[in-house]
Chain A
Amino acid sequence: MRYRLALEVNEIAYEAEVEPHRTLLSVLRGELGLTGTKEGCDDSECGACIVLVDGRPVNSCSFLALQAAGRPVQTVEGLAKRGELHPLQAAFLEQGGVQCGFCTPGMLMSAKALLDQNPHPTQAEVKRGLGGNLCRCTGYAGIVRAVMRAAGDG
């Protein structure tokens, strides 16, 4: 059985009809065409699928889409505004925080959640904030540097 789902993603209203077991990730990618969010492990281990729900990070691969009803969702597509990169995106480019790029959307969203709560984190706080995100290229040094730079502390 399918249920009507009204979603608000990056301040845009969407409607979909989904089964109760559908994850937010599969609805974002499969129904709404928002493919910036990646599917990595599909098991909440790697963080490639992290989006923000209520401004806080969520592994969208393991989050039931129907539970996102009425809650603001933010994905990587919402970061750049009017053709301008978000400061985090600019810092990732500048600091070499992107290698293959697969973990980048999740890293950016975790970093955004962190900086929204704690605009000037220490390096240890950045590492803890990104604790649920794996980079299979192991490019962590550049990623941490980029988050520090975006916070104006690197």
Chain B
Amino acid sequence: MLAENPGARLVAGGTDLVVAARSGKAPLPERLIAIHRLMELGGIEPTTEGGLRIGALITHGELEGSATIKQSWSALSDASALVGSPATRHLGTVGGNVCNASPAMELGSPLLVFEASVELASAGGARRVPFGSFVTGPGRTSGLPGELMTAVVLPPLQPGGGTGSAYVRLEYRQAMEIAIVGAAAMISLDEAGRCLGARVALTAVAPTCVRASEAEEILFNNAIDDALLQRAAQAGARSASPIDDVRASAGYRRAMVPVMVRRALARALERARSPHSN
């Protein structure tokens, strides 16, 4: 249907599409294809490699309610619980959040730290694209006309336990809010407490969610203490290129990046150290 109707947009929950049309940001297209009843796009299932496949129609509410995600991919659970209100979480989907590609999308930084892939299907076949290269700018993706996002795929976590992750955001209010600055972190520790791997990503401080590689390098292969966390948090700011908008100035956003990175790292570390107390 997508191939036969150029210019048609897909609608699942409509929480972005219909609202954007109302506010005059983007009128509804000539043709809409409703996909909310495609059962094949639901489901949260383990992959044979030990990761997780999350169907594009899985809602934020379903993500939030998944015990597996809460236990092992906590940052994604944190992020889905922060989206909008109960009504938004009931309708808004993973596919919609990813394909709308907002720089402030809650799921973006968690998907970056988990190095997730996006699964796309078209009449011509299927392909997988790393999430980091799928979203190319505000509202832009590398998805082609005629392609439908079918799932996100999370690779397995570092073996050996000791992995924790978290997503935090700076907000003016707790409900119906959009991140002013957000940060996700994932930390894997060996038995001696040394950092086997650290990943950090930032939300709403660049045209897309971005990895903060300098922060990651500072943590990697080191024993983590407060001073090191602080250095990593400061380094995180160097990956940010924020703008002024209605929600905050660029300067405020830049100043808040280290604060949010530090909070995300601290929570991820706590979870890595006691993986069953999420």
Contacts and interface: CB of A to CB of B under 8 A. Distances in A.
B26 to A, nearest CB: 13
Given A20-B32, A45-B176, A56-B61, A64 B86 contact: no
B95 to A, nearest CB: 15
Contacts of A67: 11, 14, 34, 36
A107 to B, nearest CB: 12
Contact of A131 (B18, B32, B85, B91): B85
Interface string B52-90: 000000000100000000000000000000001111101
Contact of B91 (A20, A42, A63, A66): A63
B18 A58 contact: no
B126 interface: no
Nearest to A51: B87
A38 to B, nearest CB: 14
A20 B14 CA distance: 12
Interface in B21-71: 21-23, 28, 32, 34, 36, 61
B174 interface: yes
Interface string A50-75: 10000011110111101100000000
A72 to B, nearest CB: 14
A57 B84 CA distance: 12
Interface string B199-215: 00000000000000000
Nearest to A134: B176
Nearest to A109: B87
Task: Label chain A's interface by main secondary structure.
Answer: mixed
A113 B86 contact: yes
Interface residues of B, number: 23
A135 to B, nearest CB: 13
A57 B61 CA distance: 11
Given A23-B18, A43-B19, A43-B22, A64 B34 contact: yes
Contacts of B223: none
A132 B88 contact: yes
Given A42-B22, A44-B88, A58-B87, A64 B14 contact: yes
Nearest to A133: B85
A64 B174 contact: no
Given A56-B86, A58-B87, 10 more contacts: A20-B32, A44-B84, A50-B87, A57-B85, A66-B34, A67-B14, A67-B36, A131-B175, A131-B176, A132-B176
8 contacts: A43-B23, A47-B87, A57-B90, A62-B15, A64-B14, A67-B36, A110-B87, A132-B86
